[in-house]
Chain A
């Protein structure tokens, strides 16, 4: 059966010849008509539309967007802030980059609708420091939108006013964690805050109620207001509504970004048909389906169990290729859809070296606030690097696992889980390769493509 067709909603104009990132082009394509619709309605109705849509956050956790908005403390008398998480830094994820660079007004429209719905008067776009061009494009687009009456003191003549400013990060992955991001926006080290009590919806930016939403999520909000929450909820699959952008990288013939209705394509269809399969003469070995923190899957393993379809419990028996790409199915098989970054590794890959690469990333990016994460990520890096470059011992796999097992659940933020899941899952799925590593490494030639 051929793979289903893409359904490009958010990426409708990405890479379209002649489509430019200026306001005139956006208006020619019907831009800001959703904002016009939005400001003619009551804010509560817009929040209801988003709740009805079933939209789940596209940044990594998949938290329902309408529920997030519903948690905002609206009685405190303090201003409510919107912070746009444009810190796109989960390895394997590269979707927001294209929205920001090629279609910034789509994002700005989503931001303004969200602000209007939640009575926000000030929004900040926190963009990662490594997107200097993206920051300039956004600033130019905001200035255009301000001149056009879509942003600023009196939006579309309604008397409602809201400002957007762009705030650049400076190369720290932890700023993608929402409370770390808020600390960073306050001008501090981005040490994540402890929850409770510091839930952003209550005590966020400047201790005021704050909504933190991902770039792609806000673009979906624009679509929801355009077509209605009910209609949006029919796209995708139940509890996994809408489309999502899947970013494929690594060892496939056609890496790139593909937008599909959530759950309507399997991992196998995505990798074999859409992305053209493995490189010549190679076979798939492993895939990380939702950004580098997501647990790795080994081709050949099988997942069995029961799942709910409608009101029925149905047996499933899947290989890696059969898994539908949605939040719930990926969680069911012990990994996650995360940020939509799919990293593929073929049979040329030294799996220990791949883990050493990932561990180096997390050791570099741990903020250092919590001891288990700061020390654990460092030791996982040291052990896996020693296995690759120095002496490897058969017991190293068990040692790595014991370090990883002591991090998760003992840290302020989810980085603890994010840095231990790769080690735990690599060991669970490829424990044989770790055990055999001291021997296999002796006979192996120097790698053509070093990973660590």
Chain B
């Protein structure tokens, strides 16, 4: 495990927040996923050792919570809300627009490794449906046209980086 010094510092800081080390399981997994991009198998062993747990105690947490992933994803993560209020305002079409913009199906990484498109459950912004999270940023009222704009923006940002 090669974690960044900042990540290690934040891990040291968060563990004493709890009277029981085990409580730091979710915070540590979040920090590692933010650093590495996903939870590799050695991270499970590492967290278990750090918190004096058995690896199964960490593994069962990783496999339960939808936000933890055991495989790398695209550089950008597009999460389209699928639940009723967003669906009523066209979320399925919004998701399709992202899929066709990047030539992927939901749950897949695009061939160039740039994006992963996912359908997720309620993002708690039902009044501005349909909503989409791109990485940590919430985008509201994302109809098909807006999805196409956001896709073009992601492409421009990718081009600027290379």
Contact = CB atoms under 8 A, between A and B. Distances in A.
Given A170-B67, A173-B121, A186-B22, A341 B126 contact: yes
B83 A91 contact: yes
Given A186-B22, A345-B88, A170 B125 contact: no
B84 A357 contact: yes
Contacts of B109: none
Contact of A187 (B25, B66, B93, B121): B25
A172 B93 contact: no
Interface stretch (B1-9, B57-65, B99-107, B152-160): B57-65
A247 interface: yes
A93 B126 CA distance: 7
The 7 closest A-B pairs by CB, nearest first: A170-B65, A249-B126, A187-B25, A171-B66, A249-B85, A171-B67, A187-B22
13 contacts: A89-B121, A93-B124, A94-B127, A168-B26, A170-B65, A171-B67, A190-B64, A247-B127, A249-B85, A354-B88, A357-B83, A357-B87, A450-B92
Contacts of A94: 124-127
Interface residue range, chain A: 35 or more
Interface of B: 17-20, 22-27, 29-30, 51, 57, 60-61, 64-68, 82-85, 87-90, 92-93, 120-129, 133, 136-138
B161 to A, nearest CB: 22
Nearest to A133: B136
Given A187-B20, A187-B26, A357-B84, 12 more contacts: A91-B83, A91-B84, A94-B125, A96-B124, A133-B137, A165-B18, A167-B17, A168-B30, A171-B67, A186-B22, A187-B25, A343-B84
Contacts of B18: 165
A169 B85 CA distance: 22
A184 B137 CA distance: 25
Contact of B123 (A130, A169, A170): A130
A406 to B, nearest CB: 24
B61 A188 contact: yes
Contact of B85 (A88, A92, A96, A170): A92
Given A171-B67, A257-B127, A364 B136 contact: no
A255 interface: yes
Nearest to A95: B124
A248 interface: yes
A247 B57 CA distance: 38
Interface string A167-187: 111111100000000001111
B13 to A, nearest CB: 11
Contacts of B89: 250, 449
A3 B128 CA distance: 23
A165 B92 CA distance: 37
A96 to B, nearest CB: 8
A451 B23 contact: no
Contacts of A451: 84, 87-88, 92
